[in-house]
Amino acid sequence: MTVKLEDVAELAGVSKTTVSRVLNNRGYISEQTRKKVHEAMEELHYSPNAVARQLFKKETKLVGLIFPSVDNPFFGELAAELEKRLFKQGFKVLIGNSMNDPEKEKAYLKELIGNQVDGLIVGAHNYNIDEYKVTNLPIVAIDRIINDDIPIIASDNYQGGKLATELLISKGAKNIIVTDGPLDFQTPAHNRRIAYESVMKKNKLIPKSFIIDFNWNLDKKIKEIKRMFKTYPNMDAVFATNDADAALIWRIAKRMNIKVPEELKIVGYDRATSTRILLPELTSIEQPVEEMASLAVKTLIKRIKGEKTVPKQIVPVTLWKGESV
């Protein structure tokens, strides 16, 4: 049976308004009252989100997605898989592409809250966005750290980085470069690089990373990859932390008459459906998109219902052996 807001108020011996003030940090509340309300909520296994929702809004059966861009094989597929599952659960999807622009992400967040979505699934990469802290909305993050209250679904980035680096070393590569997005984004995806560094050091090899920002356009990326080839003339392998970068590196190597995998080995990351179709030859770490989507939807629905969720759910990745290593 669903516990009601009244039950929290009754157990704490305060009014409903006071409970809502505690939940929303509005108006003056003494520490003692705050404590009483929190204790009552805990005793009743009550989630602030569910309570706040009951008070302030009705169900809209809309879920907002905020992603860097659906024009990226991985996020496009993820958005489609989420949408498919949410539709089956009776939810429609509002989608915003943040293009990794914090201002745009804020604007979408404000808009989605204003449109009274029932919940949010966020896979964008900006952080330090205050709006996430003040909203009572149920949120699930995919491969991204927002704050301690928001559950994360991620694939095993560390294991992926380890698998990729160990494979390259086992095939004789020594000068292995890792490409990574900008370091100032707080994302669990950095664990791919961290695992690479750890495996390199364990094998007495020197880790070297090269930044390829996912916000850059195609021309800028090509220019930077050419610079990478110049900067590291002795490199014999690249672990690219996404397939698009891996494909570009392969393409540029081809133009420079560098043979893959004989002279340069390449491992990518993601293996979205379009990569599987367009470039199955690429050796890559496969993220289980469907499983991640399924977990994200299940977790969001739990949050919406006010049920408890675990803070972190990590799903395993697998190595796809193509022809680039």
DSSP state of 27: S
Q: Which of 6, 59, 111, 307 binds a second copy (CB under 8 A)?
A: 111
Could you tell me which stretch among 27-35, 48-56, 103-111, 168-176 binds a second copy (CB under 8 A)?
A: 103-111
Q: Interface with a second copy includes 256 (CB under 8 A)?
A: no
Q: Which residue, 244 or 317, is less far from a second copy as judged by CB?
A: 244
Strands (E), the chain: 62-67, 92-97, 119-122, 139-142, 152-155, 176-180, 208-211, 237-240, 265-270, 283-286, 312-315, 318-320
Q: Interface with a second copy includes 243 (CB under 8 A)?
A: yes
Query: Distance (Å, rounded) from C-alpha 238 to C-alpha 209?
Result: 10
Q: Which of 59, 71, 149, 290 binds a second copy (CB under 8 A)?
A: 71
Could you tell me which stretch among 177-185, 225-233, 244-252, 301-309 binds a second copy (CB under 8 A)?
A: 244-252
Q: Which of 54, 69, 215, 294 binds a second copy (CB under 8 A)?
A: 69
User: Which residues, 6 or more positions from 143, have their beta carbon under 8 angstroms from its beta carbon?
Assistant: 123, 152, 153, 154, 155, 157, 187, 188, 189
Tokens at 32, concatenated: 């003692």
Q: Interface with a second copy includes 108 (CB under 8 A)?
A: yes
Could you tell me which stretch among 39-47, 84-92, 298-306, 311-319 binds a second copy (CB under 8 A)?
A: 84-92
CB 267 within 8 A of CB 320: no
Q: What is the sign of the dihedral through the CA atoms of 312, 73, 260 and 233?
A: negative
Q: Interface with a second copy includes 129 (CB under 8 A)?
A: no
Q: How many CB atoms lie within 10 A of CB 119?
A: 23
Q: Interface with a second copy includes 3 (CB under 8 A)?
A: no
Q: Interface with a second copy includes 84 (CB under 8 A)?
A: yes
Q: Which of residues 198-227 bind a second copy (CB under 8 A)?
A: 218
CB of 279: closest distance to a second copy in angstroms? 4
Helix axes 73-88, 243-255, angle to 10 degrees: 150
Q: Which residue, 97 or 283, is less far from a second copy as judged by CB?
A: 97
Could you tell me which stretch among 22-30, 78-86, 190-198, 309-317 binds a second copy (CB under 8 A)?
A: 78-86
Query: Distance (Å, rounded) from C-alpha 50 to C-alpha 48?
Result: 6
Phi, psi of 119 (to 5 degrees): -175, 170
Q: Interface with a second copy includes 290 (CB under 8 A)?
A: no
Q: Which of 209, 276, 314, 315 binds a second copy (CB under 8 A)?
A: 276
Q: Interface with a second copy includes 16 (CB under 8 A)?
A: no
Could you tell me which stretch among 40-48, 79-87, 225-233, 297-305 binds a second copy (CB under 8 A)?
A: 79-87
Residues that bind a second copy (rule: CB under 8 A) add up to a total of 40
Q: Interface with a second copy includes 251 (CB under 8 A)?
A: yes
Angle at 190 between CA 184 and CA 191, to 5 degrees: 150
Query: Distance (Å, rounded) from C-alpha 287 to C-alpha 319?
Result: 9
Centroid of chain to Cα 32? 38
Q: Which residue, 186 or 294, is less far from a second copy as judged by CB?
A: 294
Phi, psi of 183 (to 5 degrees): -70, -20
Q: Which residues bind a second copy (CB under 8 A)?
A: 62, 69-73, 76-77, 79-81, 83-84, 87, 92-97, 99, 104, 107-108, 111, 115, 218, 243-244, 247-248, 251, 273-280
